[in-house]
Amino acid sequence: MTIFLNGQFVPEAQAAIPVTDRGFLYGDGLFETVRVINGRPFRFPQHLERMTRGADFLKIKLPFAPKVLQAAAEQLIEKNEMPEAILRVTLTRGPGERGYTPKADGRPTMVMTLHVAPPSGNLLHWSLITSSFRVLAADPLSSFKTLNKLTHVMARAEAVERGADEALLINTNGEVAETASGNVFWVYHDRICTTPTGRGVLPGVTRAVVLEICQALGLPTNKRVVKPEALKDSEGIFITQSAFGIIPVATFDGELVATCPLVDQIFNAYRELLAKS
C-alpha cells in the first residue's frame, strides 16, 4: 500500500511519524473520512472545506492547498489501483516539545491513506442503543472532526458490548445529538428530521447531501431538538456517514423501528448520486 505523507508518496511500511508528533501525544489535529467512488473522492471539496475551517480554528496552517490535496488524492487512488475505497485524510500540528502549549512555528503533518470500502449497493440495517456517554451541548470543537474521539470510541465499545451496531450520543442537555460515527435522522409525520448543529453535532458531509436530496425530491425537512424518547415515536430512523452512506435503524434500545418507504427513497437517490460521481 502506498500512502501520502507530507508531500511524498511512500510505501506504508516505510512511512514514519515522530513520536513527538502532537497528534500522537494529544490528539492535536483533524481528520476526514471520504468515500471514493469510480476513482474519485466523493464530495472532497466539502470535506476539505470543513478541514480548512477546523485548521483555522485550531490555528494549524494547512501545508497544502485544497487543489494540491485533490490532485494528490487522485494520484494516490491511481497508484494503489483502488477506485472504490475509503480515503482518510489526517492533519496534525506536527512534532513539538512536551506540554500543552503549541509552537507558533510548528511543521504540520499531513497524511492520506486508503482503506477497503464497505459495499455500496446493499442497504444495511443497524441496531442502535442510547449510550451512557455524553457530548457537550455547546462545544465549539464539535463542528470539526478532531482527533479527540475518545467519547465516540467508548460509546461504540459500549454498543458492541450490548450487542448493538451503533450508539446514540445524547448531549449534556439530555437532547439527541449524533451517533458514534455519524448523524442521526428520523421521520416524523412524513418530515425528515435531524438535530441542528450547535448542539454537540458534527455538520456531516453526508448529512448535507441527504438534506440536498430531500430538497430535490420535495420531501419536507425539519431541524429539531428532541429528547431520545421522541425517536421511539418516529416513523423511521436512519444514520448518515461517509463510509456507509445511509444506514436505516432496525432496532432502537431493543425495540423494533418502523420501516419507512421514505428512507428507501432517500437511499436510492443517494446511491444514484454516488453512481454519477
Angle at 52 between CA 46 and CA 54, to 5 degrees: 105
**CATH code reported for the domain at 126-276:** 3.20.10.10
pLDDT tens across 41-93, in order? 999 999 999 999 999 999 999 999 999 999 999 999 999 999 999 999 999 99
Q: Say yes or no to pLDDT of 158 above 60.
A: yes
CA 201 to chain centre: 11
Residue 277 has pLDDT above 90, yes or no: no
Q: Which of 242, 270, 274, 1 is nearest to 115 (CA)?
A: 1
The whole-angstrom separation of Cα 111 and Cα 57 is 20
For the chain, what are the domain ranges?
2-116, 126-276
CA distance 243 to 166: 14
Q: Is the pLDDT of residue 121 over 70?
A: no
d(CA 202, CA 61): 22
pLDDT at 120: 62
Residue 106, pLDDT score: 85
- Cell numbers given for 22: 502532537
What number is the average pLDDT over the span 95-119? Answer: 91
Number of Cβ atoms within 10 Å of the Cβ of 169? 24
Mean pLDDT for all residues in the chain = 95
What pLDDT digit, counting tens, does each position of 183-226 carry?
999 999 999 999 999 899 999 999 999 999 999 999 999 999 99
Per-residue pLDDT tens digits for 217-276 = 999 999 999 999 999 999 999 999 999 999 999 999 999 998 999 999 999 999 999 988
**pLDDT of amino acid 103:** 84
| CATH fit for domain 2-116, picks 1.10.1660.10, 3.30.470.10, 3.40.50.300, 3.40.640.10 | 3.30.470.10
Looking at residue 119, its pLDDT comes to: 75
pLDDT tier at 12 (50, 70, 90 boundaries)?
very high
The whole-angstrom separation of Cα 126 and Cα 246 is 11
pTM value? 0.94
